[in-house]
Amino acid sequence: SGQALAKGMSYNANKAGEHGDAARTPQPGQTCPVPHPSATASTAAETVASPKVGAGVPPVGVCPAGDLDRVRADGGGQRLTTNQGVPVADNQNSLKVGLRGPTALEDFILREKITHFDHERIPERVVHARGSAAHGYFESYDDLSDLTRAAPFAAAGKRTPVFVRFSTVAGERGSADTVRDVRGFAVKFYTDEGNWDLVGNNIPVFFIQDAMKFPDLVHAVKPEPNNAIPQASSAHDTFWDFASLMPESTHMLMWQMSDRAIPRSYRTMQGFGVHTFRLVNAEGVAVFCKFHWNPVGGTHSLVWDEAAKITGADADFHRRDLWEAIEAGAYPEWELALQIFTEEQAEEFPFDVLDATKLIPEELVPLRVVGKMTLNRNPDNFFAETEQVAFCTAHIVPGIDFSNDPLLQGRIHSYLDTQISRLGGVNFHEIPINAPIAPVHNNQRDGMHRQSIPRGRVAYEPNSLGGGCPFQAGMAGFTTAASRSPQPPEDKVRGKPELFAEHYAQARLFWISQTPAEQTHIVNAFRFELSRVQTQAVRQRLVSMLANVDPILAEGVADGLGFAVPPAMPLATDDPAPHYEPSPALSLLSRPGSVGIQTRKVAILAGHGVDAVSLKAVYADLLAAGAVPRVVAPQLGQLAAADGSRIDIEISIEAGPPVLYDAVIVADGDTSAAMLSRDAGALDFIRQQHLHCKPILAIGSGKELLLKVGLTGDLEDGTADAALWMVDAGAVDAALEQFKAALAGHRDFKRETDGVAL
Ligand code: HDD
What does DSSP say about strands 194-201 and 637-640: parallel, antiparallel, or unpaired? unpaired
DSSP structural state of residue 131: E
CA–centroid distance, residue 169 to ligand 1 (Å): 9
273 Cβ below 6 A of ligand 1? no
According to DSSP, the residues that pair with 320 across neighbouring strands are: none
184 Cβ below 6 A of ligand 1? yes
* CB-CB contact of 195 with 397 (8 Å): yes
Does residue 536 sit in the same domain as residue 673?
Answer: no
**Residue 128 CA, closest ligand 1 atom number:** 12
For residue 241, being part of any structural domain is answered with: no
392 Cβ below 6 A of ligand 1? no
CA distances from 154 to 144, 337, 501 (A): 6, 16, 40
Residue where one domain finishes, among candidates 92, 118, 144: 118
CA distances from 465 to 277, 298, 608, 755 (A): 41, 58, 85, 77
Does residue 578 sit in the same domain as residue 671?
Answer: no
CA–centroid distance, residue 415 to ligand 1 (Å): 7
Q: What is the largest CA-CA distance in the chain?
A: 91
Contacts of 390 (CB under 8 A, 6+ apart): 415, 419, 422, 423, 428, 429, 431, 434
CATH number of residue 352's parent domain: 2.40.180.10
126 Cβ below 6 A of ligand 1? yes
pLDDT at 20 (0 to 100): 37
418 Cβ below 6 A of ligand 1? yes
Name the stretches of the chain with pLDDT < 50.
1-65, 476-477, 481-483, 756-758
C-alpha span between 491 and 207 (Å, rounded):
28
For residue 479, being part of any structural domain is answered with: no
CA distances from 448 to 176, 309, 414, 424, 640 (A): 34, 44, 20, 7, 64
Q: How does pLDDT run across 306-334, given as a tens digit for each residue?
A: 999 999 999 999 999 999 999 999 999 99
165 Cβ below 6 A of ligand 1? yes
Does residue 557 sit in the same domain as residue 580?
Answer: yes
Can 128 be counted among the known catalytic residues?
yes
C-alpha span between 456 and 653 (Å, rounded):
66
Q: Whose CA is nearest to atom 27 of ligand 1?
A: 411
Q: How does pLDDT run across 728-739, given as a tens digit for each residue?
A: 999 999 999 999
CA–centroid distance, residue 127 to ligand 1 (Å): 7
Does residue 605 sit in the same domain as residue 736?
Answer: yes
Single out the residue of 35, 46, 31 nearest to residue 6, CA to CA.
35
DSSP structural state of residue 294: E
CATH number of residue 697's parent domain: 3.40.50.880
What does DSSP say about strands 131-140 and 368-377: parallel, antiparallel, or unpaired? antiparallel
C-alpha span between 542 and 536 (Å, rounded):
10
pLDDT at 293 (0 to 100): 98
Radius of gyration of the chain (CA): 29
C-alpha span between 177 and 470 (Å, rounded):
46
216 Cβ below 6 A of ligand 1? no
Length of the chain: 758
164 Cβ below 6 A of ligand 1? no
Q: How does pLDDT run across 579-592, given as a tens digit for each residue?
A: 999 999 999 999 98
Single out the residue of 235, 109, 104, 227 nearest to residue 179, CA to CA.
235
Which member of 201, 202, 376, 378 is catalytic? 201
Reported as type and span, the H/E element at residue 26 is none
Q: Which residues of 720-745 are buried (b: 16+ CB within 10 A; e: fewer)?
A: ebebbbbbeeeebeebbeebbebbbb
* CB-CB contact of 176 with 232 (8 Å): yes
For residue 54, being part of any structural domain is answered with: no
CA–centroid distance, residue 391 to ligand 1 (Å): 8
What's the number of domains the chain is made of? 4
For residue 461, being part of any structural domain is answered with: no
pLDDT at 488 (0 to 100): 72
| DSSP-derived secondary structure for 270-290 | -EE--S-EEEE-TT--EEEEE
Report the chain's terminal Cα–Cα distance, integer Å.
Answer: 76
pLDDT at 67 (0 to 100): 66
Does residue 108 sit in the same domain as residue 215?
Answer: no
Does residue 733 sit in the same domain as residue 639?
Answer: yes
Single-letter amino acid, residue 192 = D
Query: 87 is in which domain, residue-wise?
Result: 83-118
CA angle 564, 567, 570 (to 5 degrees): 150
**Residue 275 CA, closest ligand 1 atom number:** 24
Residue where one domain finishes, among candidates 372, 406, 430: 430
Does residue 413 sit in the same domain as residue 314?
Answer: yes
Residue where one domain finishes, among candidates 430, 446, 477: 430
Between helix 304-313 and helix 516-532 the angle, nearest 10°, is 60
For residue 242, being part of any structural domain is answered with: no
Does residue 135 sit in the same domain as residue 112?
Answer: no
CA angle 251, 254, 255 (to 5 degrees): 95
Q: Whose CA is nearest to atom 40 of ligand 1?
A: 125
For residue 63, being part of any structural domain is answered with: no
pLDDT at 52 (0 to 100): 33
pLDDT at 422 (0 to 100): 97
HSE at residue 392, side-chain half, CA atoms within 13 A, is: 22
For residue 483, being part of any structural domain is answered with: no
Which member of 19, 36, 128, 395 is catalytic? 128
CA distances from 460 to 441, 442, 443, 455 (A): 12, 9, 6, 13
For residue 340, being part of any structural domain is answered with: yes
Distance, CA of 241 to chain centre: 28
Does residue 276 sit in the same domain as residue 135?
Answer: yes
Contacts of 491 (CB under 8 A, 6+ apart): none
206 Cβ below 6 A of ligand 1? yes
Reported as type and span, the H/E element at residue 635 is none
Q: How does pLDDT run across 480-496, given as a tens digit for each residue?
A: 544 455 667 788 999 99
Alpha helices in 180-236 (DSSP H): 214-221
Does residue 413 sit in the same domain as residue 542?
Answer: no
Q: Which residues of 578-593 are buried (b: 16+ CB within 10 A; e: fewer)?
A: eebebbebbbbbebeb
* CB-CB contact of 330 with 599 (8 Å): yes
Q: Whose CA is nearest to atom 37 of ligand 1?
A: 127
Does residue 628 sit in the same domain as residue 543?
Answer: no
CA distances from 233 to 127, 215, 379, 545, 740 (A): 13, 17, 28, 21, 35
- Strand spans (E) along 264-395: 271-272, 277-280, 286-295, 333-341, 368-377
167 Cβ below 6 A of ligand 1? yes
Does residue 584 sit in the same domain as residue 636?
Answer: no
Q: Whose CA is nearest to atom 9 of ligand 1?
A: 184
CATH number of residue 538's parent domain: 1.20.1370.20
CA–centroid distance, residue 593 to ligand 1 (Å): 28
- Give me the interface pTM, i.e. the ipTM: 0.99
CA–centroid distance, residue 34 to ligand 1 (Å): 36
